[in-house]
Structure 1
Amino acid sequence: MKKISIFEIYTKNNYLNKIITMSGWIRSKRISKIGISFLTIYDGSSAYTIQVIAKKSLFNYSAEIRKLTVGCSVIVSGYLTLSPSNLQTYEIQANKIKIIGWVDRPDSYPMSAKKHTIEYIRNFGHLRPRTNLISVIARIRNVVFQSLNQFLNNYGYIWVSTPIITSIDTEGSGSMFQVSILDVNNHLHTKKSINKENYFFGKKVFLTVSGQLTLEAYACALSKVYSFGPTFRAENSNTKKHLTEFWMLEVEKAFSDINDISIFAEKLLKYSVSFVLDNCISDLLFLQKKIDKNIIFRLNNFLNIDFVNIEYNEAINILLKNNNIINQKISWGDDLSSCHEKYLVNNYFKAPVIIRNYPKLLKAFYMRINEDEKTVSAFDILLPHVGEIIGGSEREDRINYLETRMNEMGLNKENYDWYKDLRKYGTVPHAGFGLGLERLILFITGIKNIRESIPFPRTVGHADF
């Protein structure tokens, strides 16, 4: 007999009063005085659980079923009926329960039925997806991932797998992880000099902070492309919004400018949120009870509100006029802190904000210089309660301007000869942006710490599992 998932039970509605088979894990168990066990089962397909009624007439009731504990895995067969209780919609009147896996030492099982803090379950990355919260976030993350790919596919964008190992620093920040096959301990002990012979690739290489530059090569041939994969930042930052390994969606479009690409980025965000509302209602209802009581209203409101577009200069003027409220100084040429971003989005505009045309000294070398030669054609999208979620720009397509910026930033131009070739051989105006997947998950779910938005978080001092 085909196994049915809990998700199918609640969405297809055509199994009622039929014999079904399902598999899952015990979430909780209660035994009545008259010899009936009430088992709450989950299978990871939905935020819903299902109650299984196990009567003492079952052949293995005394020997096995009564001994079941939280976390045990089972296969259940029986009639699916409406539940007389208000606590659940359906229940299964079991005629057979097969125990697949027992829990060794249930008294010390880390995911026991009692309530645990988020910080506690974070210590058990291999077991925490068994909790309601993390399983909900995992399902929403999957739907968000699918929505972004679907949106770009609908608009004719081609997926390109950009390198994870690279010799170039896209952002020019220097916060990169070097890749090496050297025995570091032995190297430090012998104090041998490092030369090209010690490098696997014959030169220093790093884990990428962005695939954008290589993605541009394909944009200048295929017009509309994107990449979606892990990126790495070796920043010594341990805040609730930073990871050292995270997933980045990067989009590039030829014959495009800042207006075109920023409008497209707004459409992308709204499409993803709409897709989650359409496909994750049970998970959102769970989060509404546990995390954010306004989540569904908030996400629907996000779809109906226009993003505010302002210049960097205007943002600075607003912050200067309201400095007594913010209580954090800023002047032209400074980057906006999270405090400034929160004030603009949450307090002043009370809407998502797109800030454009930043001072060139704040941005990477590849961004197009504006006519004032002080600013670049760049934009950031700020969302409520998250801050910056997208950063993008027009790319500098004029080789003389590009070389000047590279000189100003002290880059080794030999490493970028191929990148300059894109400006020599049929250059075109092009633009793009990067979206941090985990920050989008933060915004949608309302969770407070980015460590819960990714299956196995890597942060300063933590690279477990």
Structure 2
Amino acid sequence: MHTRLSKLNSLQRLCLHRRYSTGKQSIYDIFNQTRKNGRFSVSTEGWIKSFRKQKKFTFFHLNDGTCVKSLQVVADSQLCDSCLSAGCSVRVEGDLVRSLGPDQAVEVQATNIQLIGECDNKENPLKPKSPYSLDFTRQYLHLRPRTEHHGQLLRLRNTASMAIHKYFQDQGYIFIHTPILSSNDCEGAGETFSIETDVSVSTEVSSGQDEQSDHDGKLFFGHPTYLTVSGQLHLETITGAFRKAYNFGPTFRAENSVGRHHLAEFYMIEAEIAFTENLADILREMESLVKTTCCDVLEKNAEMVDYFWKSSTNPEQSIIAKSLIDRHYVRMTYTEAIKVLERNNDKFVYKLKWGCDLHKEHEKYLVKYCNNIPVFVTDFPTSLKPFYARRNKDEETVAAVDLLVPEVGELIGGSLREERYDVIKSRLDELGMTASYQWYLDLRRYGSVTHGGFGMGFERLLQCFLGISNIKDTIPFPRWPHHCSL
């Protein structure tokens, strides 16, 4: 029966492939066909990356994004449209043969070339094969993916994304889509984007509507709503039924900063683990996630990773990046970290004492102090961490952790969550937040368990591992103050 089903599934897959196949080949497929001997016909489309026209013959390199390598096309110059140039999109038909040139194993001898889309390189702000600074290409987000640098970044971003999903799936986590719209400020920092509508919304009062209803119709949901700063609280509801859960989605911070480490919209990987009582369990999971992801990206895209390491402004980038994979991460408490920093207060703009929050300059210093090995800082003062962090026995600190990495500073933040109803209610009462978090208290009233979790900034991981100076160059469409034009 199993064999019969397997054959049926294979037949179904073959029928689906034939039904939806366009008859044309990707450049990736064409290169894979080179294992066969002899001359055979190909038909493909793509964009011209470089173009050289001679009296009798025209040579150009074609790429369709399915692989890094471009396909050389050789054509009789009479076949080529007069508008043909680098940047154009074309359809090519011809014969794939062994190349006589030293830089490629095969080439296409074209029998037909059809121009699909012209490219006016007199007006084009990002001319193909021309060198541009990253600051310059950032002005043209709609054209930036066509550059070699950003194209490779997007490939690595894809590999890293899939590696993260694979890690969690292999570890038995369930993937959850947490909401983008939220009525809670999870971090409590007040850096939220509020939601309002351009048109009035019906203000009919429904049963059970709360006293904070919006009577002028400006608020779509009838009460203050925000773009999420974190999906953590929603993930905690999931770990009331599942042992492990994670999300991977956009988060938003209305932080008025144009610095090279900040974005208004970025992607977060967040995980929650039920039935864990030890912060060390969370640290091990954080370290394992970073190492596995970086290792996977390096193994699958070694040449591209090396390209970024060599183009980094840090000459030791490859050593720094490999420390994420090869070294055992340092552990120190917040109190220990403060002692190190206090001895060097003369080196900082912001002078520290116990109870102060760490700034970027302090985080980077601690990593350098530990020989550029990632550092876990644990057990922060209660006042520095959100209300949900579990209070330690000393009553002054909480079981929270930040992972600090070279050149970036904080990469991951996490904690054990306060599962004790009386303790967290007292904390919410103290902050005046009890009314808004009754649902969160319910999680502690009905089958509460010890649990913990963490959140990692995806773009910061790429920034650290690849040696990218500005975080705005790690994401396809960066958003920062006064910049959201596309």
State the TM-score, normalizing by the size of structure 2.
0.86
For residues 138 and 117 of structure 1, what CA distance do their matches in structure 2 show? 17
Contact 1:47–1:132 under 8 Å retained in 2: no
Contact 1:39–1:53 under 8 Å retained in 2: yes
Corresponding position of 1:130 = 146
Match of 2:136 among 96, 99, 120: 120
1:128-180: per-residue Cα shift (whole Å, max 9, x none)?
Answer: 10111111111111111111111101111011111211111111111111111
What percent identity do the matched residue pairs reach? 39
Match of 2:389 among 352, 367, 371: 367
Q: State yes or no: 1:446 paired with 2:460.
A: no
Q: State yes or no: 1:142 paired with 2:192.
A: no
For residues 80 and 301 of structure 1, what CA distance do their matches in structure 2 show? 44
Match of 1:382 among 404, 428, 432: 404
For residues 51 and 88 of structure 2, what CA distance do their matches in structure 1 show? 11
- Deviation of 1:456 (Å): 1.0
Q: State yes or no: 1:277 paired with 2:298.
A: yes
* Pair 1:28–1:144, CA change in 2 (3 A): same
* Pair 1:387–1:326, CA change in 2 (3 A): same
Contact 1:16–1:80 under 8 Å retained in 2: no
Contact 1:46–1:283 under 8 Å retained in 2: no
Contact 2:323–2:374 under 8 Å retained in 1: no
Corresponding position of 2:339 = 317
RMSD: 2.4
For residues 364 and 49 of structure 1, what CA distance do their matches in structure 2 show? 50
Q: Secondary structure at the match of 1:313?
A: helix
For residues 449 and 312 of structure 2, what CA distance do their matches in structure 1 show? 47
State the TM-score, normalizing by the size of structure 1.
0.90
- Deviation of 1:438 (Å): 1.0
Q: Which range is displaced more, 35-44 or 267-276?
A: 35-44
- Deviation of 1:219 (Å): 0.7
* Pair 1:268–1:17, CA change in 2 (3 A): farther
For residues 295 and 6 of structure 1, what CA distance do their matches in structure 2 show? 32
Q: State yes or no: 1:455 paired with 2:470.
A: no
The residue identity in structure 2 corresponding to 1:26 is I
Q: Secondary structure at the match of 2:72?
A: strand
Q: Secondary structure at the match of 1:378?
A: strand
For residues 37 and 137 of structure 2, what CA distance do their matches in structure 1 show? 36
**Pairing of 1:157-196 with structure 2 (within 5 A):** 157-182=173-198, 195=215
1:89-143: per-residue Cα shift (whole Å, max 9, x none)?
Answer: 543332332221112x331012213222212221211111011111111111111
Q: Which range is displaced more, 78-87 or 156-165?
A: 78-87
Corresponding position of 2:267 = 247
Corresponding position of 1:190 = none
Corresponding position of 2:208 = none
**Pairing of 1:224-235 with structure 2 (within 5 A):** 224-235=244-255
* Pair 1:119–1:18, CA change in 2 (3 A): farther
Q: Secondary structure at the match of 1:38?
A: strand
For residues 410 and 39 of structure 2, what CA distance do their matches in structure 1 show? 51
For residues 306 and 109 of structure 2, what CA distance do their matches in structure 1 show? 27
Q: Which range is displaced more, 258-267 or 10-19?
A: 10-19
Corresponding position of 1:107 = 122
For residues 34 and 415 of structure 2, what CA distance do their matches in structure 1 show? 48
The residue identity in structure 1 corresponding to 2:424 is L
Match of 1:42 among 63, 69, 72: 63
Contact 1:137–1:445 under 8 Å retained in 2: no
- Deviation of 1:12 (Å): 7.2
Q: Secondary structure at the match of 2:75?
A: strand
Q: State yes or no: 1:353 paired with 2:368.
A: no
The residue identity in structure 1 corresponding to 2:482 is G
- The alignment covers a number of residue pairs equal to 449
